[in-house]
Amino acid sequence: MLTMQYRIALPADYPMDIIERRIAEKGHLTDGLPGLAFKAYLYSLKPEGGANAYAPFYLWRTAEGMRDFLSGPGFAALSESFGRPAVHSAVAWFGEWKDDATQARHAVIERLSMLAVESLAVRRAAEADWGRTRLQDANMLALASAFDPGTWSLTRIALLREAPDYRAPGCEHYRVGRVSLGAE
């Protein structure tokens, strides 16, 4: 599995209802997408302590699905509207979701540096334990953990039913406009 995310920073005065409407009108187009596990349509709002941004997050079952999406009409339309964004991808060590993952309305992304001396096998096992333990929380609907061997960094995402009780320092907080589940 692979993760993929791009973030489109928008001006502070950008009418974010345009993004919400775009998600509502076009989000269904990724339902059942071949090779996709899930896509979370993430966005943040300046008044909520972030910056206006559209930042969808994908968990891919296959590299071919990711490849076909990036070279297909959906990504072309996004690039035509906002410019071609930098796409960040990583190798997933953990990715699981509950049957009601489409009910997610909030997301938290954590980015961590990896130590040069740590065992990747040990870290991979620890990330699987992290995911399985956190997924027992009723508020958690989907989790993924992935590492980027180009930057030796780790990205974790949690899709939540309700907003977290706290805003963890250094984490990115997003609203989830929709979750699409891919083809099995």
Q: What is the pLDDT of residues 23-76, one digit of tens each?
A: 999 999 999 999 999 999 999 998 887 799 999 999 999 999 999 999 999 999
Q: How many distinct structural domains can be found in the chain?
A: 1
pLDDT at 83 over 80: yes
Under 8 Å between Cβ of 23 and 29 = no
Q: What is the CATH number of the domain that holds 169?
A: 3.30.70.100
Residues 6+ apart with CB under 8 A from 146: 1, 2, 3, 90, 91, 92, 93, 95, 154, 155
Q: Can you give the residue range of the structural domain that contains 106?
A: 2-181
pLDDT in tens, 129-142: 999 999 999 999 99
